[in-house]
Each structure stands twice: as structure tokens, then as C-alpha cells.
């Protein structure tokens, strides 16, 4: 590999701000914030608005909303 052309690949904590879910993984994302992790070390912190812990597809809330819409559509169509 050529030196100096690749971004810094390091451990980064991704934190979902709506559910307080956090995961430590490797990334090249740059950030100015840091957080103290469970192992006692400080890692760069990248805050996310949505993750698998809060996304409707993974939580199952989307399915309930779609079902409710289908029921309303049926009631409108057949007058009940």
C-alpha cells in the first residue's frame, strides 16, 4: 500500500442518540468528540440519529403502521 493516501482506520464508538445504543467498531469516520468506553479507554464518538435499535424496520413498528393503514383503507372502501 502507498503511504499517506489512506484514511486513518481506527476504533470508533457509534451512538444512537434516540435509544442510547452504542457500538464499538472500526471506521475511518472523523469526529471531534470522544467517549469513555466500557473497557476504560477513550474512543472517538460519532452520534447517529437512527440505528438498528430505533429504526422502524428492525423494531417492528413499521409493520404495525402498515397494517393499520390497510385496515383504514378497507374500512373506507367498504363503508364500515
DSSP calls for 16-37 = ETTT--EEEEEE----SEEEE-
The predicted pLDDT at position 57 comes to: 60
**Stretch 39-57: mean pLDDT, rounded?**
82
Q: Work out the mean pLDDT of the chain and round it to a whole number.
A: 82
The predicted pLDDT at position 76 comes to: 85
Residue 19 has pLDDT above 70, yes or no: yes
* 53: nearest Cα among 15, 11, 26, 25: 15
pLDDT band at 70 (very low <50, low <70, confident <90, very high): confident
* CB 31, CB 48: distance < 8 Å: no
Residue 12 has pLDDT above 70, yes or no: yes
* CB 44, CB 33: distance < 8 Å: yes
> Angle at Cα 15 formed by Cα 28 and Cα 31, nearest 5°?
40
Torsions phi, psi of 65, nearest 5?
Answer: -65, -40
Amino acid at each position: 500500500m502507498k503511504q499517506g493516501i489512506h484514511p486513518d482506520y481506527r476504533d470508533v464508538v457509534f451512538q444512537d442518540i434516540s435509544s442510547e445504543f452504542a457500538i464499538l467498531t472500526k471506521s475511518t469516520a472523523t469526529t471531534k468528540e470522544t467517549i469513555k468506553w466500557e473497557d476504560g479507554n477513550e474512543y472517538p464518538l460519532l452520534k447517529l440519529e437512527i440505528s438498528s435499535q430505533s429504526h422502524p424496520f428492525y423494531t417492528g413498528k413499521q409493520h404495525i403502521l402498515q397494517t393499520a393503514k390497510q385496515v383504514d383503507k378497507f374500512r373506507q372502501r367498504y363503508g364500515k
